[in-house]
Amino acid sequence: MKRLQLLTLAALATMGTQAQIVVTDADLVAGGTYTWTTGNTYLLDGFVFLEDGGSLTIQPGVIIKGKETPTSDDLASTLIICQGATIQADGTAEQPIIFTSELDDLSVANDLSYNDRGLWGGVIILGYAQIGNATETAAIEGIPTEDPRGTYGGNNDADNSGYMHYCSIRHGGAEIGAGNEINGLTLGGVGSGTNFEHIEVYANLDDGIEFFGGSPNCKWMAMAFCGDDSYDWDQGFRGKGQFWFAVQDAASGDCGGEWDGATPDGASPYSNPTIYNATFIGAGTDGSAENGTAMLMRDATGGTVANSIFTSFVNHAIEVEDLPSASGVDSRQRLEDGDLSILNNIYFDFGTGNDFVAGELIRATTDAEDPTCGWLISHLTSNNNTSEDPELGAISRIPDNGLDPRPSSDGPAYTGVMATEPADAFFSDVDYKGAFEANGPMWLEGWTALSANNHLVVPVAIQETDLISQISMFPNPVSSAALVSLNLENSASLTISIVDMQGRVVNQIATGQFFAAGQHTVTVNTEALAAGQYMLNISNVNGQVATISFVK
């Protein structure tokens, strides 16, 4: 059954009028300037490289699909932004940019499910920032090593590869060799001049996002139902992150974060990012996924992870590798030297137990120098890490409108001791732990696959409007009629209409009808509608709009 969701009419109308344009590697040349325009769908056929000097602007609402079986010899359809090229993917909350498989019918929720993975490649961005590697540059995974366009790394940490805003990357991760899949979003040597905000990776076969060195800035990130790790960093990643979310399904997914230092371990620079306000939800204590740890810190990674929530994993919460390599340094040494900090986080509901002891929340490294992990326990407890229920709204891993990762405003996410954010304009100063505030709309609403595919709780408020505080429709799907329940904060004159997927009004229910503040029930006649998907559109005289999608 389709569930209720509040979306904007503009986004759905855009989906209904798209023309499809096939893009091959030959269509983008070095130094070229390209714009992919609102109203079109672009079909990637094989590896599509934007080479040095190239610029690609993607307008709001554009859909990019990957061909499942390329006509070329390439093993997957993938967009690659090479060193010296830039991408300006300028989506909005109302008109997100969607990267997905050619098999995905976006007019039908759950046409592809949360476990349909590996149907195309993904998005790869390569820059000139430093990497922690034995050589200054390297060949990115997922691209044949003999192709020089897959090179990343250099000496410019401020390198600018552009930006991506409000982008959803779905159903990727095609396998191009045994154990070699493409990440949803791969960032190789991407510099701090590059900005990522409101990025979702949904149902990827491999990792959600992987950072190979570099120092990009990433805010409001969501990794959902990926087959391997949600967030993977290595080779000297030194970026900044805030409001990172991950959720895994019961049968798939390994670590919430697999975080490595450099290659080899003692190389410079080593990974040393700063991450605040993450919420990682694992596969559940009774899940069958591997879920080794919520956080695996190894190969001499450094970094800061603070004011975050980790919950509902099959196994452990954290491992900090205690096994010096030939370089003489490991992640334990980084922690003891103050180069790795785990501050003011909440841990709850782990299958191996919920105490700060080795074998429960903590996994000791095999052949560890200290199998009791006393040094790690001391660090966690002295830095206000706690084992307690963060009181999240609801956890669900299926499309039943049951996922609400917002914490209670009366719970430890608000009442616990907070780590102070860095004095850096990138970080928002918030008074809660985790990726979401307690009240108000989630930043996932409207533009993500989590929202479109009915994973999230039905919003109880309309963003940026006081029009309606609560709205529902029953039944849905409908037959001959439905009841719409409205709760108005203030009295209003409302126009209520049914709109098809091309934006045409097919039934006018009310025009400027006065409704007093409070609860109302309106009967909507749907008997004359043809089978299909529609929007119930409710607006007031100020142009504020609330909508519900429904199916006849």
What pLDDT, on the 0 to 100 scale, is given for residue 397? 97
* Contact (CB, 8 A) for 55 and 31: no
* Confidence band of 514 (pLDDT split at 50, 70, 90): confident
Specify the pLDDT at position 46: 97
- The mean pLDDT value for 347-369 works out to 97
Please say whether the beta carbons of 133 and 235 come within 8 A: yes
Question: Given this model, what pLDDT does residue 3 score?
Answer: 27
Residue 10, pLDDT > 90, answer: no
- Evaluate whether 401 touches 442 at the Cβ level (below 8 Å): no
Query: What pairs with residue 58 in β-bridges?
Result: 36, 89
pLDDT of 57 higher than 60: yes
Tell me which H or E stretch contains 139. Answer: strand 138-139
Closest residue by Cα to residue 67 from 142, 21, 119: 119
Question: How far, in Å, CA of 350 to CA of 310, rounded?
Answer: 9
**Whole-number Å distance between alpha carbons of 158 and 308:** 27
User: Which one has a higher pLDDT value, 43 or 478?
Assistant: 43
Contacts of 338 (CB under 8 A, 6+ apart): none
Whether residue 11 is predicted with pLDDT greater than 50 in this model: the reply is no
Tokens 């690659």 sit at which residue?
80
- What is residue 380's predicted lDDT score, i.e. its pLDDT? 98
pLDDT at 346: 98
- Quick one: DSSP state of residue 270? P
On the question of pLDDT at 27 being above 70, the answer is yes
Q: Say if residue 279's pLDDT is above 70.
A: yes
**Calpha distance 341→304 (Å, rounded):** 5
For the residues 504-508, what does the mean pLDDT come to?
85
The H or E element containing residue 379 is: helix 374-382
Bridge partner list, 138: 152
Instruction: Give the pairing type, strands 97-101 and 162-170.
Output: parallel
Find out whether 45 and 23 touch, Cβ atoms under 8 Å: yes
pLDDT on residue 472 = 75
pLDDT given for residue 482 in this prediction: 84
The single-letter DSSP state of residue 428 is: -
Higher pLDDT, residue 223 or 542: 223
pLDDT greater than 80 at residue 332: yes
If one compares 179 and 482, the residue with the highest pLDDT of the two is 482
Characterize 22-57 residue by residue with b for buried, 16 or more Cβ atoms within 10 angstroms of its Cβ, and e for exposed: ebbbeebeeeeeeebebebbbbbbbbbbbbeebbbb
pLDDT surpassing 80 at residue 418: yes
Out of 13-17, 52-56, 245-249, 421-425, pick the least confident: 13-17
pLDDT at 179: 67
| pLDDT for the residue numbered 461 | 37
**Pick from 342, 181, 196, 321: nearest CA to 260:** 321
Instruction: Using the predicted structure, report yes or no on whether residue 392 has a pLDDT greater than 50.
Output: yes
Average pLDDT, the chain: 90
| pLDDT of 312 over the 80 cut | yes
Question: Residues 58-67: pLDDT tens digits?
Answer: 999 999 999 9
pLDDT band at 5 (very low <50, low <70, confident <90, very high): very low
**Is the C-alpha dihedral spanning 452, 454, 457, 459 positive or negative?**
positive
Instruction: Say what the pLDDT of residue 130 is.
Output: 98
Q: Pick the more confident residue, 509 or 415.
A: 415
Mean predicted confidence (pLDDT) in 489-502: 79
Q: What is the pLDDT of residue 12?
A: 33
pLDDT at 422: 95
What are the tokens at 454? 């009915």
- pLDDT grade, residue 440 (50/70/90)? confident
| Res 257 pLDDT > 90 | yes
Q: Which residue has the higher pLDDT, 326 or 355?
A: 355
Which of 394-398, 444-448, 510-514 is predicted with the least confidence, judged by mean pLDDT?
510-514
* Structure confidence at residue 252 (pLDDT): 95
The percentage of residues in the chain with a pLDDT greater than 90, rounded to a whole number, is: 74
Position 128 pLDDT exceeds 50: yes
| Closest among 31, 167, 3 to 90, alpha carbons compared | 167
The predicted structure's pLDDT at residue 178: 62
To the nearest whole percent, how much of the chain has pLDDT over 70? 93
* 514 bridge partner residues: 493
Does the structure show a pLDDT above 50 at 512? yes
Give mean pLDDT, residues 80-84.
Answer: 98
pLDDT for residue 464: 37
- Which residue would you say has higher pLDDT here, 179 or 437? 437
Superfamily of chain region 464-551: Macroglobulin (MG2) domain (2.60.40.1930)
Q: What is the mean pLDDT of residues 93-103?
A: 96
pLDDT of 80 > 90? The answer is yes
Sign for the pseudo-dihedral over CA of 436, 439, 444, 449: positive
Q: pLDDT for 132-151, tens place per residue?
A: 999 999 999 989 889 999 99
Amino acid 7: pLDDT? 29
